Homo-oligomer: A and B are copies of this chain.
């Protein structure tokens, strides 16, 4: 197999939740702030993980056709309603629930995200390729000043990752062959689906995606083109100064 150094990708597509932004910290903090206002005590890191754990199953219901196309803001809200009482937040009113749901539009970056992306942008076209809805991704980018060249969401294809329509649709919108596009993600399942579509793949470690109690996913040696510790290291591996 040719190495990445032999023929570089032309564009990098980034998974967002967990890969670019620290959803765990962002959701934990917004829940804790709202709870403090009401003098509610709770385990907000556990709340964040509970909320997130409904994400893949909800998308699976869309992917299977059980639910019609439903964007992530709506799936997040649906999942929030299912866990809000359990975590003692049942007294939040509609405006507060809506505000909490929009925590996903304001998530903080990992410490290496901005510096890494700025380096990578000098050489590659940078896009998102996320299941987050288009407006969520656009607001998240504006909130953080992310230097994307464009925003691409699963919403544009009416399919959620890991459906092949998303990876191939992204390449098509950028007018690239699949092998000229590299997916950057911290989730092996996402990368495996992209690889099956002919994309290049860069795995980035995000050991704290779910907070300090970390379970790192198992990956096989050689299954991805690049293994990076963070975005600065990814820029090093792609030999971008």
- Residue numbers of A with Cβ under 8 A of B are 73, 125, 127, 133-135, 137-139, 141-142, 148-151, 155-156, 173-176
Contact = CB atoms under 8 A, between A and B. Distances in A.
Chain copies in the assembled complex:
2
A137 B151 CA distance: 12
A174 B153 CA distance: 12
A149 B156 contact: no
Contacts of A135: 173-176
A197 B78 CA distance: 31
- Most chain B CB within 10 A, of A138, A141, A174, is at A138
Contacts of A156: 156
- Most chain B CB within 10 A, of A133, A139, A142, A150, is at A150
B155 A173 contact: yes
Given A125-B142, A155-B173, 4 more contacts: A134-B173, A134-B174, A135-B173, A135-B176
A138 B142 contact: no
B138 A150 contact: yes
